[in-house]
A and B are shown apart, each in its own frame.
Chain A
């Protein structure tokens, strides 16, 4: 049995190559339990690859990834991690509810769970719509709803708020914080800096390396700016000088 003070995710010297080029160059970091940790960085910095490695669907070339005390990809983790990909992995030729019912059956979660997660992402009204008729934002929320099935201990969410209007974005962030208060660990990626301020911890990634790994406040203090976008630029400059 693992200790609650142990990190939810511990990554050591993780290296991943894709298409012959190394895209993650030896990352080492930890993600604390029961918090919202933001994975930030520009498109192409390796966020998705890192998340895939944590979920255990990415072939890695070196290093260790341990999730909830087990090596990433272990069979025992498959019910404990909720994963939503950037392009929503839902069946376009099924309705939202049919999608959720199927994934709920695969996970073996209670029968009323699909209705619960639909309400949580605000999609109850579109329950009987086919995936192919949903808007991009609705599809994204359907994908997120699948990840919430069965109340997993760890949520790995790849850009879950892309294309959403500000009200919905606000609602989803409220949901993330509520889940974190209940003990769920959330790793959420974004390329939008204004979302960084909503995280309790930030990991800033650029070109497959970690630029910073701290709380938003410490990052602001360290870079001498209140604006995270500005902080990001300072970090890059700092790196260039060093």
Chain B
């Protein structure tokens, strides 16, 4: 692994994004637009206050998951991954490069969605802002890591996009948004306990509702961060220098 190569890789991915302005615009604007839509659909500050953190959780994850899985799949099919694997690039250089570049993109995404929510949409935060930003960014990183991992199991773009509902929908259904996790059947609660999104949503709820996020918030943050690291390492394991 080399710091210079990781940075060069992140820079290269940012340049690719720069050449694709429409993707950048979609990435940055869509979460904010959905936030605004949610606000007018709810039409009531309390329900909006309950749903907004969830969207702030789901969006960075979702978008990063999708673009990472497509981008890495492209690397595999275009032969550039094979070329890189024949060069002195460490597998983590590539993964962290993606994490870094898309993490920065996630920052822009979250920043705009938050700014609009806190001003125009009147989302009230009793506590500081940083816990919310931290959780959103960790989620983006988790999405990137899982996207990298899942792209290893997809041979075509069609397959890659299908992984999105597989990874997303169960996590949302079991994440305690629709039904509190404690009220689920025991087996479902166990499953919910091992899905990282459950902790991300919990952490986000604390970040939005608590004046001073305490021990439970930090436990959730550690779980989400740990999941992201685990997914990155598993993703690194799926990158092979030699292929059949």
Residues of A within 8 A of B (CB): 18-19, 55-59, 73, 75, 78-79, 81, 83, 85, 87-94, 98, 102-103, 105-108, 130, 146
Q: How far is the CB of B18 from chain A (nearest CB, A)?
A: 9
For B71, the closest partner residue in chain A by CB is A93
A90 adjacent to B80 (CB under 8 Å): yes
Report the nearest A residue to B80, measured CB to CB.
Answer: A89
Q: Is the CB of B82 within 8 A of A85?
A: yes
Tell which of B9, B19, B85, B242 touches A94, judged by Cβ atoms closer than 8 Å.
Answer: B19
Residues of B with C-beta under 8 A to A78: 86-88
Residues of B near A107 (CB, < 8 A) are 87-88
What separation, in Å, do the CA atoms of A93 and B21 have in the docked complex? 11
Q: Provide the bound-state CA to CA distance between A211 and B86, in Å.
A: 29
Q: A94-B15, A105-B4, A106-B5 are in contact. Are A85 and B83 (CB under 8 A)?
A: yes
16 contacts between A and B (CB under 8 A): A56-B86, A56-B241, A57-B82, A57-B241, A59-B242, A59-B243, A79-B87, A81-B86, A89-B78, A89-B83, A94-B12, A94-B15, A94-B16, A103-B87, A106-B9, A108-B88
Contact A146 B86 (CB under 8 A): no
Q: Which B residues are in CB contact (< 8 Å) with A103? A: 83, 87
Measuring CB to CB, which residues of chain B are less than 8 angstroms from any residue of chain A? 4-5, 8-9, 11-12, 15-16, 19-20, 78-80, 82-89, 241-244
| CB-contact partner of A58 in B83, B87, B89, B242, under 8 A | B242
- In the complex the two chains form, is A57's CB within 8 Å of B4's CB? no
Q: For residue B242, which residues in chain A have a CB less than 8 angstroms away from its CB? A: 56-59, 73
5 A-B pairs with least C-beta separation: A89-B79, A105-B8, A89-B83, A102-B12, A78-B88
Q: Which of A73, A79, A89 contacts B82 (CB 8 A)?
A: A89
- Please give, as numbers and ranges, the residues of chain A lying within 8 Å of B11 by CB-CB distance: 102
Contact, CB under 8 Å: A18 / B244: yes
Hey, which chain A residues are within 8 Å of B78, CB to CB?
Answer: 89, 91-92
Given A89-B83, A91-B12, 11 more pairs with CB closer than 8 A: A58-B244, A59-B243, A79-B88, A85-B79, A88-B79, A89-B82, A91-B78, A92-B78, A94-B15, A98-B12, A106-B84
Q: How far is the CA of A83 from the CA of B79 in the complex (A)?
A: 11
**Contact between chains at A59 and B88 (CB < 8 Å):** no
Q: How far is the CB of B30 from chain A (nearest CB, A)?
A: 20
Find out whether the CB atom of B243 lies under 8 angstroms from the CB atom of A57: yes
Q: How many whole Å from B62's CB to the nearest CB in chain A?
A: 22
| Contact, CB under 8 Å: A73 / B241 | yes
Q: Once bound together, how far apart are the Cα atoms of A102 and B75, in whole Å?
A: 14
Asked if A108 and B16 make an inter-chain contact with CB atoms under 8 angstroms apart, the answer reads no
Q: Which of B79, B80, B82 has the most CB of A within 10 A?
A: B80
Q: Which residues of B contact A146 (CB under 8 A)?
A: 83
Residues of A within 8 A of B241 (CB): 56-57, 73
In the bound complex, how far is the Cα of B88 from the Cα of A90, in angstroms? Answer: 17
Q: Which residue of A lies closest to B8 (CB)?
A: A105
Give B17's nearest chain A residue, CB to CB: A93
Q: Are B244 and A59 in contact (CB under 8 A)?
A: yes
List the B side residues contacting A81 at CB < 8 Å: 86
Alpha-carbon gap, A103 to B12, bound state (A): 10
Closest A residue to B12 by CB, please name it. A102
Tell me the smallest distance from the CB of A189 to a CB of chain B, in Å. 16
* Distance (whole angstroms) from the CB of A127 to the closest CB of chain B: 14
Query: With the chains together, A87 CA to B76 CA distance in Å?
Result: 13
A83 and B12 contacting across the interface, CB-CB below 8 Å: no
Q: When chains A and B are docked, how far (Å) is the Cα of A19 from the Cα of B243?
A: 12
A58 touches B243 (CB 8 A): yes
Residues of B within 8 A of A79 (CB): 87-88
Q: Which residue of A lies closest to B19 (CB)?
A: A93
Q: Which of B8, B16, B20 contacts A106 (CB 8 A)?
A: B8
Given contacts A93-B19, A94-B16, contact A83 B5 (CB under 8 A): no
CA–CA, A84 to B181, complex, Å? 54
**Neighbouring B residues of A92 by C-beta, 8 Å:** 78
Q: Which residues of B contact A87 (CB under 8 A)?
A: 79
